[in-house]
Amino acid sequence: MKFTEEHEWLRTDGDVIVVGITAHAAEQLGDVVFVELPEPETKVAKGDDIVVIESVKAASDITAPLDGEIVEVNDALADNPGMVNDDPLGAAWFFKMKIDDMGQLNDHMDEDAYNDMIG
């Protein structure tokens, strides 16, 4: 897995990248009450706001960690946004994307570097 400074995790699944938020981010947000996901087939550029997540504490935007196309979203989050708190690194993934350049993954941190960042 790779991690972004925006507290997203990236997992490679064949030629697709699965994206979610870290346990640290979920903990900081508090109880998640709403998640708005992008439409499949949406083209995105790194840094684009593509997911809206609301909790009892705050609202946040999740940005695209890479350039590519959204190929699938986790529709279960619409009905059960609390999954983000229950299983942020597993069942609560946000979207899957095909990226334009797999080399972009090297721009992100490994787990040790991420853990150092959040201290």
At 12 the pLDDT is: 96
At 2 the pLDDT is: 97
- pTM for this one? 0.94
Rounded Cα distance between 28 and 68, Å, is: 28
- Number of Cβ within 10 Å of residue 32's Cβ equals 24
At 95 the pLDDT is: 97
- Between the alpha carbon of residue 3 and those of residues 51, 69, 97, 99, 106, the distances in Å are 17, 19, 15, 16, 10
At 118 the pLDDT is: 96
36-55: pLDDT as tens digits:
999 999 999 999 999 999 99
Distance of CA 96 to the CA centre of its chain: 9
Low-confidence ranges of the chain (pLDDT < 70): none
Distance of CA 89 to the CA centre of its chain: 9
At 21 the pLDDT is: 97
CATH 2.40.50.100 fits 2-118, yes or no: yes
DSSP per-residue letters across 76-116 = HHHH-TTHHHH-TTTTT--EEEEES-GGGGGGSB-HHHHHH
At 69 the pLDDT is: 98
Bridge partners of residue 96, in order along the sequence = 18, 72
At 44 the pLDDT is: 97
